[in-house]
């Protein structure tokens, strides 16, 4: 399966390049885990569920890896067969929540050890989503990204591709129901935007808000959420193409770029974790 919109983002088709180390782009979400590999396309798009002796286990909750052992087992079953030990160790690009605490970051890296990565590059999902949208220029004016997931909603302002302000709320589409409409998420987003408007870079937030936020994540597939956000923020809301794939598309772009760096393809493997700015 070709990742939706990937060929519009990359300068080339997702084919393997001779001499480059293997790589995996991963979007590890509370609801679903998605992964993409050069030359293979999407190799995983499944619920983030592991099977334990006591029944189903959900190792990722509210954007955090809460059970490293079960998350590692899940990733091993999903992706282990795609990483042959006879080949070079893979470069992993992981898309994760913005404002991740060091302990949560360490837990995610520990779960990835089952893939025996050469190195791991972590990328904020809001930034990955912006990179993964072909209609969004990489620099220039400020951009407001609203990422509505199943259990987590994030709001961030990007200027010249750098996150200059961000907020997150532990609420998502899985929390909605008959008695909890889309206004629950819209109110949370409006509150986070208000907080960003009080920050030092408020001018960038105003410019981004005037332009209209980029709506990504699974919640962007729901017209009621987009409508309520537009009403609350009093501006146009722009759902991204295939919004639930946006973060993985951006991670794939970062992976293709990182695989071409000389430090990745020369010398002995050095396992390290680098957080993209």
pLDDT in tens, 193-241: 999 998 866 778 888 898 899 999 999 999 999 999 999 999 999 999 9
Q: Distance between CA 142 and CA 144 in Å, rounded?
A: 7
- Pairwise CA distance, residues 95 & 118, whole Å: 17
Which is nearest to 243 in space by CA: 270, 217, 273, 274? Answer: 217
Q: pTM for this structure?
A: 0.86
Asked if residue 262 lies in contact with residue 185, where contact means CB atoms within 8 angstroms, the answer is no
Residue-wise pLDDT tens digits, 89-126: 889 999 999 999 999 999 999 999 999 998 999 999 99
Q: Worst-scoring range by mean pLDDT, 63-77, 82-96, 119-133? A: 82-96
Using CB atoms within 10 A of its CB, is residue 158 exposed (0-12), middle (13-18) or buried (19+)?
buried
Strand (E) or helix (H) holding 65: strand 64-65
The pLDDT, as a whole number, for residue 22 is 84
Q: Are strands 153-159 and 162-169 parallel, antiparallel or unpaired?
A: antiparallel
Q: C-alpha dihedral over 28, 30, 33, 35, to 10 degrees? A: -30
CATH superfamily for 138-240 is ATPase, nucleotide binding domain (3.30.420.40)
CA distances for 56 relative to 2, 49, 53, 216, 236, angstroms: 30, 6, 8, 28, 40
The C-alpha atoms of residue 55 and residue 66 are separated, in whole angstroms, by: 16
Domain ranges of the chain: 6-128+245-275, 138-240
Residue 8 has pLDDT above 70, yes or no: no
Give dist(CA 6, CA 23) in Å, integer. 16
CATH of domain 6-128+245-275: 3.30.420.40
Please state, in angstroms and rounded to a whole number, the distance separating the CA atoms of residues 260 and 262: 6
At residue 5, the pLDDT reads 60
Note whether 6-128+245-275 and 138-240 share their fold.
yes
Q: Which residues pair with 91 in a beta bridge?
A: 23, 119
């Amino acid at each position: 399966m070709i990742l939706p919109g990937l060929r519009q983002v990359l300068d080339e088709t997702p084919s393997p390049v001779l001499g480059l180390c293997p790589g995996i782009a991963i979007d590890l979400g509370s609801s679903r885990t998605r992964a993409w590999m050069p030359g293979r396309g999407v190799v995983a798009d499944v619920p983030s569920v592991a099977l334990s002796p006591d029944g189903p286990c959900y190792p990722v909750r509210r954007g955090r890896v809460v059970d490293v052992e079960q998350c590692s087992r899940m990733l091993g079953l999903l992706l282990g067969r795609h990483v042959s030990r006879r080949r070079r160790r893979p470069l992993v690009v992981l898309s994760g929540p913005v404002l991740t605490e060091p302990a949560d970051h360490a837990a995610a890296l520990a779960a990835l050890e089952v893939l025996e990565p050469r190195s791991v590059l972590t990328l904020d999902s809001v930034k990955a989503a912006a990179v993964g949208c072909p209609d969004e220029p990489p620099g220039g004016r400020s951009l407001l990204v609203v990422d509505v997931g199943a259990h987590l909603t994030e709001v961030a302002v990007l200027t010249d591709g750098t996150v200059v302000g961000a907020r997150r709320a532990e609420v998502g589409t899985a929390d909605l129901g008959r008695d909890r409409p889309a206004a629950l998420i819209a109110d949370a987003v409006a509150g986070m935007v208000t907080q960003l408007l009080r920050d030092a870079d408020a001018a960038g937030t105003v410019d981004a808000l005037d332009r209209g936020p980029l709506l990504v994540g699974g919640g962007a597939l729901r017209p009621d959420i987009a409508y309520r956000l537009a009403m609350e923020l009093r501006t146009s809301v722009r759902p991204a193409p295939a919004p639930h794939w946006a973060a993985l598309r951006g991670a794939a772009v970062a992976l293709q770029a990182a695989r071409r760096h000389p430090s990745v393809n020369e010398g002995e493997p050095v396992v390290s974790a680098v957080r993209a700015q």
